[in-house]
Chain A
Amino acid sequence: MKTHSRSRAVRTPGGLSVRLDPRALTVVVLLLVAACAAGIALIGTGDAKIPAADVLRTLAGNGNAYQDFIVNELRLPRVLVGLLVGAALGLGGALFQSISRNPLGSPDVLGLSQGSTAGALTVIVLLSGSASQVTVGALAGGLATGLAVYLLAWKQGVHGYRMVLVGIGVNAVMTAVNGYLLTKADLVDAARAVVWMTGSLNGRDWDQVWPLLALCAVLVPLVLVNARGLRMMEMGDDISHALGVRVQWVRLLLMVSAVLLTAAATAAAGPVSFVALTAPQLARRLTRSPGPNLVPSLCMGAALLVAADWASQRAFGADQLPVGVVTGVLGGAYLLWLLVTERRAGRI
């Protein structure tokens, strides 16, 4: 892969230094603009259409009461959940792909999404729980699955390929468990469960925004501070160890963060498929920079998810098709293309 030579180090008086890549910076800014634009378009879309100028005025606090209710109470939380879920999935996916050193090592493939789903389905089907209990179930399921994959792949340290294969095995078991839970349900619960399982932003309100925002506010800085070691770990455990990285500790910390991010995103919106897989890959292609590309992946995830939700609302009408179907179809097509090109380059 062609690397960029124009990146430079910025040093602060305190002795800290940050490497800045102008192209990556541009990509991040453009993606943020795209995510905000898609978010504003999404707020304006629905049964009551609102022009973008009115949306902006209402967000600034100058709209009329009717628009204020629709924008700030109904649609803004949905867009914020979408942005946060996309960002969390993008970052989590980038971490997993970097740790497993495989472009396909995303939470979708490793069983985390299925684990969260199993937790949520248990609450929906066996306990008939409320929405907030479903969230707790999804979080617990995702964490337990992540822990199981890590422990089962542990053999004097966790090796990338073994983790991927163990994850595939866990994924299969969890898929079966989900299928079983789905057959246990009566048809009403089953329909609710299937919509949840596809990943949807319908009817999200402020109750979903705050926990997700709090978690991201803690985890994103934590991950970014520790990301230095990740870049070196992509060269192999021995080299990064020699360069002074505490390999297993950094890997554990980042994996736990990635699991938490993915589980929180799944708890808020259901297992929206393929965002975690595609966002880091697209980001890497835009920045043309090797390495984990964490911040670009985060922005790409947010932009992708909100844009996909907007596309599904525009194409199929308000709240007809959950966003997970759109990302699933688009992501599936992208995945095939990725497999073909990566195969040609011999990188998988």
Chain B
Amino acid sequence: MLVDSPPEQRAEHAPAPPTRHVVRALGLLLAAVLLVLVALASIAVGAKGLSPAQVWHGLFHDTGTYGDVVVGERLSRTVLGLLVGAALGLSGAVLQALTRNPLADPGLLGINAGASAAVVTAMTYLGVTSLTGYVWFAFLGAAAVGGLVWFLGGSRGATPVRLALAGTAITAALYGYLQAVMITDGAALGKMRFWTVGSLVSATDSTIVQVLPFLAVGTVLALALARPLNAVEMGDDTARALGANLDRTRALAMLSAVVLCGAATAACGPIMFVGLMVPHVVRSFTGPDLRWILPYATVLAPVLLLGSDVLGRVVARPAELQVGIVTAVIGGPVFIFLVRRRRTAQL
């Protein structure tokens, strides 16, 4: 039958790479448009609602009116949300590829908690107050816990359950430590209870300038690793047969994930589940090719983060819910759904 069928019909069965690439590129463009819309919403929505005209005025003809000041405040918050969201989504996608584990997430694997514990230590006991100072501690904590979870979870033989358990257990231990710090130091409690939930409220221009270089390095590194990580995802033997340098790829991927989520945590506290959800959503329409997953995750993760931030402002108006809480409340059910959907044999 196939031999007799005309060429057009055969083309339907075989993959047609050029068209598919065009569709995916258009999809990416659409995602970017969505991102712009969410970013505008993030500027317009809040305790004081602004009309589109006021947003436009504040963005491009700043004359110092009340509306313009509000736009300025929300602009830095929105930009930070964009950067942090992209970092979390990208690091989640990289971690999922690296561990070959669909449930990997910087929050679930304890990497955020490691960064938090290191930052709190630096703030409370070492007197480090500037973001540029404690971002290094965040990297250190993130890297230490990342390595520990990877090792304890069984390295190469890691299963989703083992990694998640090791991550959760270490998170529990680190939270115990955080609580001990907060109990013994009243001043630390006043400051830390807002930071440890994950929030964009404290965003200023200087925060953005300070984390931007780290995020840029991490993003470029992660995006450049898409090809070798594709090979890693096929399993050790196949990857080696394809000529991939496994150890170098793994080390660089871990480095980029640690830099991205360490810097994101240092800037706005631990935020969970963004890195888990976005790559899953993205994979459902891009397929398993990381060269598409990573850019999509970079664009769509901030949509989720900013959307959650806006939602947190709408739900609890005139006060607001911290974004880390909104993402956890949305992400927990998604995580449970993923767990339920997978066949038990795979877990």
Could you list which residues of chain A lie within 8 angstroms of chain B, going by C-beta atoms? 102, 104, 108-109, 152, 155, 159, 161-162, 164-166, 168-173, 175-177, 179-180, 182-183, 187, 190-191, 194-195, 197-198, 273-274, 277, 321-322, 324-325, 328-329, 331-332, 335-336, 339-340, 343, 348
Contact = CB atoms under 8 A, between A and B. Distances in A.
B177 A328 contact: yes
Contacts of B162: 343, 348
Contacts of A172: 107-108, 272-273, 328, 331-332, 335
Contacts of B197: 176, 179-180, 182-183
Contacts of A274: 172-173, 176
B182 interface: yes
Contact of B332 (A159, A170, A325): A170
B189 A187 contact: yes
A168 B328 contact: no
Given A170-B332, A177-B325, A331-B173, A162 B193 contact: no
A277 B170 CA distance: 13
Contacts of B332: 169-170, 172-173, 176
A274 B152 CA distance: 18
A183 B193 contact: yes
Q: For the complex, would chain B's binding face be called helix, strand, loop or mixed by DSSP majority?
A: helix
Contact of B328 (A102, A159, A176): A176
B340 interface: yes
Given A176-B197, A191-B186, A162 B340 contact: yes
Nearest to A185: B193
B324 interface: yes
Interface in B184-232: 184, 186, 189-190, 193-194, 196-198
B164 interface: yes
Nearest to A167: B168
B272 A176 contact: yes
Contact of A166 (B152, B169, B329, B336): B336
A165 B331 CA distance: 14
Given A169-B339, A179-B197, 20 more contacts: A162-B339, A169-B333, A170-B336, A172-B332, A173-B333, A175-B175, A176-B332, A179-B198, A179-B322, A187-B186, A194-B193, A198-B179, A198-B180, A274-B173, A321-B183, A328-B177, A329-B176, A331-B176, A335-B169, A335-B173
A329 B175 CA distance: 10
Contacts of B198: 179
A107 B243 CA distance: 46
A22 B141 CA distance: 47
Rank and list the top 9 A-B pairs by shortest CB-CB distance, nearest first: A328-B176, A332-B173, A176-B328, A173-B332, A179-B197, A169-B335, A339-B152, A165-B339, A325-B180
Contacts of B169: 104, 109, 277, 335, 339
B320 to A, nearest CB: 10
B190 A187 contact: yes
A273 B180 contact: no
Contacts of A159: 344
A296 B339 CA distance: 34
B154 interface: yes
B189 A191 contact: yes
Interface string B80-112: 000000000000000000000001000110000
A273 B196 CA distance: 19
B347 interface: yes
A176 B173 contact: no
A172 B324 CA distance: 11
16 contacts: A108-B172, A161-B161, A165-B339, A176-B272, A179-B197, A182-B193, A194-B183, A277-B169, A321-B184, A325-B176, A335-B170, A335-B173, A336-B173, A339-B152, A339-B169, A340-B152
Residue of A104, A159, A168 with most partner-chain B CB within 10 A: A168
A165 B347 contact: yes
A104 B333 CA distance: 22
B165 interface: yes
Contacts of A194: 179, 182-183, 189, 193
A273 B170 CA distance: 12
Contact of A168 (B164, B176, B177, B179): B164
B336 A152 contact: yes
Contacts of A325: 176, 179-180, 183
Contacts of B119: none
Nearest to B155: A343
B35 to A, nearest CB: 24
B168 A168 contact: yes
B31 interface: no
B347 to A, nearest CB: 5
A162 B336 CA distance: 9
A120 B336 CA distance: 25
Given A159-B344, A161-B344, A176-B325, A190 B179 contact: no
B321 interface: yes
B166 interface: yes
A328 B335 contact: no
A155 B337 CA distance: 12
Nearest to A195: B183
Contact of A165 (B103, B184, B190, B193): B103
Contacts of B272: 172, 176
Given A102-B165, A172-B108, A194-B189, A273 B340 contact: no
Contact of B340 (A152, A176, A197, A336): A152
A325 B175 CA distance: 10
A172 B52 CA distance: 37
B151 to A, nearest CB: 8
Residue of A182, A187, A274, A340 with most partner-chain B CB within 10 A: A182
A177 B168 contact: no
B172 to A, nearest CB: 5
Contact of A190 (B108, B174, B189, B344): B189
Contacts of A187: 186, 189-190
Contacts of A109: 165, 168-169, 172
